[in-house]
């Protein structure tokens, strides 16, 4: 029987920034989560106001009142070579290493970019905001600058607009705009509204065209700031945060973590964090930065 004021365990933990709901469900199945000393099972519900003792891998989860939190969002310029997971058996650099540290909270990435893709990646402290923004029902636009090699015909472009068949179903670009190029290296700006794994690359591969460079330049109306360098971040102001919240039906924030209040998305100065020695050595060689179009 559903308890009053209770929520599914995976939703509570996702909102607290402990991973996506799918990741937390996998941890529950693996027996890594307990509630009040009892191993959790799928379907368990908890009442946060009752202060349950929730542990992940034996570590106590800090339960915080959502009403007292301020939703924060960062815009990060992801370089190529970084992965979007916190832990990697291969020891590769990840996108969380350069973000500012938080006390009793975690940064949650809004979607992912594969290791060979660079550009705009958003992070938030609000798990519910992240989950809603990633849900395909909201059809939020993602725009990419794509460099491909070869002569691309109008017939191929029309095919991408109409749709191609991928392993996980049909897919089509909402728009394709040629941006010029040098020789056989041609640039296009493309827009999609889904976040399927490697979707942009796979769509071009479906017409026998290889992508040699992929850069995300926009998420919704949040664009990759021109002054932001690879591996640096800036915090969005309350107007931009509330734009994202409005997109997915969440109430507006009345306070902002930043000291400024502006509709300008680039209100916070980019901050370059110190890297650990291992991460620094993996980033010594960086490709030349492409022109944003």
Query: Which sequence positions are flagged as catalytic?
Result: 114
User: 266: which DSSP letter?
Assistant: T
In this structure, are residues 36 and 53 in contact, taking their beta carbons and an 8 Å threshold?
Answer: yes
Contact 201, 211 (CB under 8 A): yes
By CB neighbour count within 10 A (0-12 exposed, 13-18 middle, 19+ buried), where does 99 fall?
middle
Is residue 19 within 8 Å of residue 13, measured between CB atoms? yes
Cβ atoms of 21 and 14 closer than 8 Å: yes
- Contacts for 84 with CB less than 8 Å, ≥ 6 apart: 78, 94, 95, 109, 112, 113, 121
Q: How far apart are CA 129 and CA 131, in angstroms?
A: 6
Name which of 96, 127, 83, 116 is nearest 233 in CA terms. 96
Spatial neighbors of 154 by CB under 8 A, at least 6 apart, are none
Tokens of 16: 């607290």
Q: What residues contact 96, with CB distance under 8 A and at least 6 apart?
A: 86, 107, 109
CB atoms within 10 A of CB 180: 10
């Amino acid at each position: 029987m559903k308890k009053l004021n209770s929520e599914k365990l995976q939703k509570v933990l996702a909102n607290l920034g402990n991973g996506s709901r799918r990741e937390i469900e996998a941890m529950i199945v693996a027996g890594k989560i307990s509630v009040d000393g009892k191993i959790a099972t799928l379907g368990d519900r908890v009442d946060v106001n009752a202060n349950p003792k929730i542990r992940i891998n034996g570590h106590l989860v800090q339960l915080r009142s959502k009403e007292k939190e301020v939703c924060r969002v960062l815009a990060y310029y992801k370089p190529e070579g970084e992965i979007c997971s916190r832990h990697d058996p291969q020891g590769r650099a990840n996108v969380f290493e350069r973000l500012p540290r938080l006390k009793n909270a975690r940064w949650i990435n809004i979607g992912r970019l594969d290791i060979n893709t660079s550009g705009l990646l958003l992070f938030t402290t609000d798990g519910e905001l992240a989950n809603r923004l990633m849900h395909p029902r909201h059809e939020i636009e993602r725009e990419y600058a794509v460099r491909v090699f070869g002569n691309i015909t109008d017939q191929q472009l029309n095919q991408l607009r109409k749709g191609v068949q991928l392993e996980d179903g049909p897919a089509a670009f909402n728009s394709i705009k040629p941006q010029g190029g040098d020789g056989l290296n041609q640039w296009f700006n493309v827009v999609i509204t889904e976040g399927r794994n490697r979707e942009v690359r796979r769509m071009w591969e479906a017409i026998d065209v290889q992508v040699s460079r992929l850069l995300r330049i926009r998420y919704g109306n949040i664009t990759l700031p021109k002054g932001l360098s690879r591996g640096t971040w800036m915090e969005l102001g309350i107007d931009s945060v509330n734009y994202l919240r409005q997109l997915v039906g969440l109430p507006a924030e009345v306070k902002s973590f930043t000291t400024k209040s502006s509709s300008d998305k680039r209100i916070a100065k980019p901050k370059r964090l110190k890297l650990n020695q291992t991460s620094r050595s993996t980033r010594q060689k960086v490709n030349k930065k492409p022109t944003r179009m």
